[in-house]
Structure formats: structure tokens, C-alpha cells
Structure 1
Amino acid sequence: MVERISPLGEAFRPGTYGNLVDGPGVTLTEATPAAIAEASAFPGSAEALLGAIETVTGLSLPATPGAGAVGGDAAAFAIGPGRHLVAGAEGLSASLQAAVALDIGTVTDLSHGRAALRIAGPRAEWVLAKLFALDFSPAAFPLSEGRATAHHDIFAHIQRTGGEQFDIYVFRSFARAFWEEICAAAAETGYEVR
């Protein structure tokens, strides 16, 4: 296994920052799935692709826009018609490629090109709403669902991976800039970096 170097570099500084009068409102971490992949179905093969993803990850994905699933060390959600972002253990891409027959679709390993950042805590929705024009309430953004959006020029895929937890996937080349932006947005409520 190749050790992956964090794209956050010196911007990742564990500790507590910002307005801590009531304690940190959120915790920020670099989520570290060993692998990130995009699985895309050929026309008419969306259901077969969902079956292949379930075989590899154990996650049962509904065939609806934005729908996802989270469990164990894997997470997946729809990022477009017949397209899913899948994160999980080492070897994920190879396992998906083996499960997705040539007549079902394609698998692209994104591990080298994406970074996953995690925000969790009672003020996570509030902090994210400062950055993205989305409704982060549980009614509008249920557990395991995902959204594709952007903050200025930084494209992001966001998945609710817990009741008060979101994983944000961004291009590795933008990860440090976005990390600094999310830290600035969280300063008002106080944050802890772990």
C-alpha cells in the first residue's frame, strides 16, 4: 500500500480555534477513505451497476437522484443519472472494475485526484450553509444522501454520513484552499481540528 500524502500540508493544524465561548461547534478532519472511485453505467445498465456496487461494498443504493448509503468503511451516492461516487477500503477500484462487466459500465479511480474533508457537530449544517446555497436540514438533506455543488470555483460532492456529519469531496488541488475557507467559516462558532 502506498502512503498517501495529505494535500492539506501545513494548513492542517490540530487544536481548537475561533469563538470557543460555548465550546467548539464543529469538528473538522480530513476523512481518509483508502479509495475513491466513480462508477458509471452504460445506457440501460443502471440497475446492474447498483448490483455491482452492492456486491463490492455491501451497500444497497436506491435508484433515485442523490440517494446514497453509508455503512462500515464504505459510502456511496448518486452524482448523476447512472453515476455514483464510491469511497471505501484499499482495492475498491480494482474490486469495482472486476464486478462491473464491460457491458455494464466503467469505473474510474479518483483516489489520486480527490480529497475528502469531514465536518461534524451541532453547528455543521450552519457552517456549510455559509458556503453553499443548499438546504442542509435533515428533511431536505437526509442521512446518506449526496449533492453536487460548488463554492465559487471549487466543485464539491457532499454526503451526509451521520446525523450531524458531512463528508465533502473536492479536487486535491483545491483541498488546501477549501480547508482554509471552511476553517474561516467555522471560526464564528468555534472549531476543533483533529
Structure 2
Amino acid sequence: MAETLSPLDTVLRAGRYANTAAKIGVTLSEVSPGSIVQVAAWPDTEAKVLEGIAKTTKLKLGGEPGAGAVSGNVAAFGIAPGRFLVISEDEGLADRLLGAIPATVGSVTDLSHGRTAIRIEGEKAEWLLAKFFAVDFSKAKFPVGRGVSTNHHDVFAQIQRRTENCFEVYVFRSFARSFWKALCHGAEENGYEVR
């Protein structure tokens, strides 16, 4: 099987950039989760879908959009009513979820091949994201685990706070390069590091 190349291969260059005299505000990196999976409940089956996600990942999710959880190498959050994004460092999550969520309860779609995951971390991570998205990223309104589906112009993004100062952004692979360049440009005034 051929190795899949990242859409960021031609633009991601490790180093420190822009206002490097200042303390580096954010670190940008591409992460490569083994699985990015969307799970959708059929009408009146959301509780069973949440049970299937919990059985597979050990994560307890609330039913409302945005509610999420992070534990070790797995994370999940609500992206719309009855829909959830589930991420794992391990491959094969879609198959495990299919075993726990029957087709009569909901659908499981492996999005791993179609998304690029970008990590934004550091004390200016909220500030950088707020430049692009009309979302309150403050810790009080957007705690660890919380996620959102939103967009910046025509770039659809799903964002989750993974730790106090770390977010992961999932974008379509076809938009990843232009979104990466925009993030780098947005981070210039405070200085940024690419890993």
C-alpha cells in the first residue's frame, strides 16, 4: 500500500517565524490521527449511538452539539444534532464503531482519508483562532473537550480544545494548504513556531 502524502508537505517547514524577538505565541503542527470518524444517529436513536461511542472509546459525551471529551489518544465531540466526530491515534476506529453501532441505530463514516488535522498550541492559540472564526474560544465558554463546526470564508473546519492551550482543527484536505498559509500569516505578529 502506498504511503499517503500530506497536502502540507510543500508548505510545512519546521522553524521559528515572523516576530521571533517576541516570545513565541503559538506552535503550529500537523498531526496524523489514525482515525477520524463521523457518527450520525437516526431519529430517536441518539442515546444508543452515544452508548456505542462510549463502549468503543470509553468517552462519555453529552448529546448537545459541541459537548465533547478527551482521554489519552481518543477524543470526540458533537458536531451537529445527533452527529459526532470521533478521533483516535489508532487506525481501525471506524470498524470498531461499526461493531458497536448497528446500521439500524446510526451510520459510521470514516473521514480519515479526507481530512487534515492541524494542532495550534500556546498561550496565543485562542487569540489566533479568534482571528479566523466568530467563536468565543475563552476557557469559560470553550472548555477542554468542547468542539465546534464552523467555517472561515469557504473553509469548513471542525475545532476541538484538546488541553488548556491546545486546539486541533480538522479541515478538508483540499483546503489544508491554503488554510495553513492563512494560519501562518495570522500568527506572524506574535511569532510562531512550526514543528
How far apart, CA to CA, are the structure 2 residues paired with 1:4 and 1:24?
31
Shift of 1:22: 2.5
Q: Which runs of 5+ in 2 are unaligned?
A: none
Aligned position for 1:79: 79
Shift of 1:2: 6.3
Aligned position for 2:135: 134
> Contact between 2:65 and 2:148, CA under 8 Å: does it hold in 1?
no
Aligned position for 1:12: 12
Shift of 1:94: 0.8
Deviations 1:18-49 (A, max 9, x none): 11222211000112111101000111110110
Shift of 1:65: 2.1
> Which stretch has the larger CA shift, 58-67 or 104-113?
58-67
Whether 1:160 and 2:178 are equivalent positions in the alignment is no
> Which stretch has the larger CA shift, 102-111 or 57-66?
57-66
1:63-102 counterparts in 2 under 5 A?
Answer: 63-88=63-88, 89-102=90-103
Residue 166 of structure 1 aligns to a residue in which SS? strand
TM-score between the two structures when normalised by the length of structure 2: 0.96
Shift of 1:13: 0.3
How far apart, CA to CA, are the structure 2 residues paired with 1:60 and 1:82?
14
C-alpha change, 1:166 and 1:136, in structure 2 (3 Å) is same
> Contact between 2:18 and 2:190, CA under 8 Å: does it hold in 1?
yes
How far apart, CA to CA, are the structure 1 residues paired with 2:171 and 2:103?
28
Aligned position for 1:48: 48
Aligned position for 1:121: 122
Q: Percent identity?
A: 52
Shift of 1:73: 0.8
Cα RMSD (Å) of the superposition? 1.1
How far apart, CA to CA, are the structure 2 residues paired with 1:141 and 1:180?
25
Aligned position for 2:32: 32
How far apart, CA to CA, are the structure 2 residues paired with 1:125 and 1:54?
29
Name the aligned partner's letter for residue 167 of structure 2. F
How far apart, CA to CA, are the structure 2 residues paired with 1:43 and 1:167?
29
Deviations 1:49-74 (A, max 9, x none): 01111111111111222100111111
Name the aligned partner's letter for residue 61 of structure 2. L
Count of residues paired in the alignment? 194
C-alpha change, 1:99 and 1:3, in structure 2 (3 Å) is farther
Residue 127 of structure 1 aligns to a residue in which SS? helix
Aligned position for 2:188: 187
Q: Which runs of 5+ in 1 are unaligned?
A: none
> Which stretch has the larger CA shift, 45-54 or 1-10?
1-10
How far apart, CA to CA, are the structure 1 residues paired with 2:103 and 2:23?
52
How far apart, CA to CA, are the structure 2 residues paired with 1:37 and 1:161?
17
How far apart, CA to CA, are the structure 1 residues paired with 2:10 and 2:53?
36
> Contact between 2:25 and 2:123, CA under 8 Å: does it hold in 1?
yes
Residue 112 of structure 1 aligns to a residue in which SS? helix
Residue 11 of structure 1 aligns to a residue in which SS? coil
